[in-house]
Structure 1
Amino acid sequence: MQFDYLKHVTDGLDRHAVLDELMAAYGKDVWHFAFFITHSKETADDVTQDVFVKVFQQLYEFRGQSSIKTWLLAITRNTARDVLRSAWVRRVVLFDTIRSRTGTSPSAERESMDKLMTEELWAIVLKLPRKLREVLLLNSHYGLSMQEMADMLQVSAGTVKSRLHRARAAVNRKLAQEASWTGEEEWT
């Protein structure tokens, strides 16, 4: 991988240049994961900034026990959880709307339908308990393996598999329930 050299660096590396590279390569992933955990754009901005400050400070401590991406996502998860546990967040809860991004599509109708389906799916996923949301996002969006997720979340691979199965089942159940209410066919 492009950042494998970080496993062997002890000192003398231009940390500013490496931080710029890491932010360019993984900044969006870190922000999206932070948003997914916190449900707030502003908090995701703050968490992302904190993550890269921590990375800058701990750059020489990375030893390659996981991929750089997994390391960054683990720092993001822990930072976001710390923020959510803070007294300020427990007293003040801000809700923000989610605006999904859709690519270009052949027709306005198709684009509108895709947007509605995406928003509905995200709304369902965001209502899942945090433990289920995490594994679903880490697996589906970031492509982490069961073992990488287990190491990052500090649980067994079996626990990750169970959470992932429960998350997928909950999403499918909710989609089927909503389809039956509206008289639509189930999404598969």
Structure 2
Amino acid sequence: MRDTDMSTNTAAVAQGPAGSPADPLDDEDDLIRRAQTGDAAAFGRLYDRYVHSIYRYTYSKTTSRSLAEDLTSETFLRAFRAIARPRAKLNFAAWLVTIARNVVIDHHRSGWNRLAVVTDEVDPRADEAIGPEQAALASVGTAALRAAVARLPDDQRECLALRFFAGLSINETAAAMARTDGAIKQLQFRAMNRLRRIVTAG
């Protein structure tokens, strides 16, 4: 890839979650193949398609807009550098969320997170409904919901973050968590039931 292409795309990624809407006519497999050969424009299309879901995911892990933007940018920078590596057919959404999870883990392991300002801001995009379960959660106050989610086991909390904040499908969540579709359905069911009990009891 030419240095100018990388510089152009890196600058676009660094702008954070302000990407333009992706063209629904773009074939994702074709975009991935082109991006793997160094096509920065194709990667830019993938960025536009997934930036908001990755931002929602990182925001759900930090509750800080500025930090979520930084982690989202880092996720796409890592993806841009790694996408050309040889691999089997790429499930881009699951692969991207795996990178985002690692970015979040790296952040929490580092000393820099002590300097991050955690706010009580609510990202309006996190309220976009993707189903009746999220609508039910949206009716609960933000502080109460955060407190309830924090009391869930790690795997249940991760499942809800991937499904309702990152917006992944059951299949994509299964790939990201290295589980079967059936296991994710059961995990989500248990998480939602436990969350309702916690909120009701609280």
Q: Same fold (TM over 0.5)?
A: yes
- What is the identity, as a one-letter code, of the residue corresponding to 2:69? D
- In the alignment, what sits opposite 2:39? 14
Cα offset, 1:156, TM superposition: 5.7
Cα offset, 1:154, TM superposition: 3.2
Q: Does 1:74 align with 2:98?
A: yes
Q: Does 1:95 align with 2:118?
A: yes
Q: In structure 2, do the counterparts of structure 1 residues 144 and 26 end up closer, same or farther at CA, with 3 Å as the change threshold?
A: same
Map Cα deviations across residues 135-188 of structure 1 (whole Å, 9 max, x no partner).
01323452422x53233123566664554233212211023224xxxxxxxxxx
Count residues with an aligned counterpart.
Answer: 165
Does the 8 A contact of 2:62 with 2:118 survive in 1? no
Q: Does 1:4 align with 2:25?
A: no
Cα offset, 1:66, TM superposition: 4.5
Q: In structure 2, do the counterparts of structure 1 residues 175 and 116 end up closer, same or farther at CA, with 3 Å as the change threshold?
A: same
- In the alignment, what sits opposite 1:106? none
Q: In structure 2, do the counterparts of structure 1 residues 169 and 98 end up closer, same or farther at CA, with 3 Å as the change threshold?
A: farther
- In the alignment, what sits opposite 1:176? 200
Q: In structure 2, do the counterparts of structure 1 residues 96 and 11 end up closer, same or farther at CA, with 3 Å as the change threshold?
A: closer
Q: Does 1:127 align with 2:137?
A: no
Matched residue SS, 1:5: helix
Give the TM-score normalised by the residue count of structure 1.
0.68
Does the 8 A contact of 2:35 with 2:84 survive in 1? yes
Gaps of 5+ in 2: 1-25, 128-136
Does the 8 A contact of 1:6 with 1:63 survive in 2? no
Matched residue SS, 1:61: coil
Q: In structure 2, do the counterparts of structure 1 residues 121 and 71 end up closer, same or farther at CA, with 3 Å as the change threshold?
A: farther
Cα offset, 1:27, TM superposition: 0.7
Does the 8 A contact of 1:37 with 1:77 survive in 2? no
Larger Rg: 1 or 2? 1
Give the TM-score normalised by the residue count of structure 2.
0.64
Gaps of 5+ in 1: 104-113, 179-188
- What is the identity, as a one-letter code, of the residue corresponding to 1:32? R
Stretch moving more, 135-144 or 120-129 = 120-129
2-structure distance, mates of 1:12, 1:143: 26
Does the 8 A contact of 1:30 with 1:73 survive in 2? yes
Cα offset, 1:134, TM superposition: 1.6
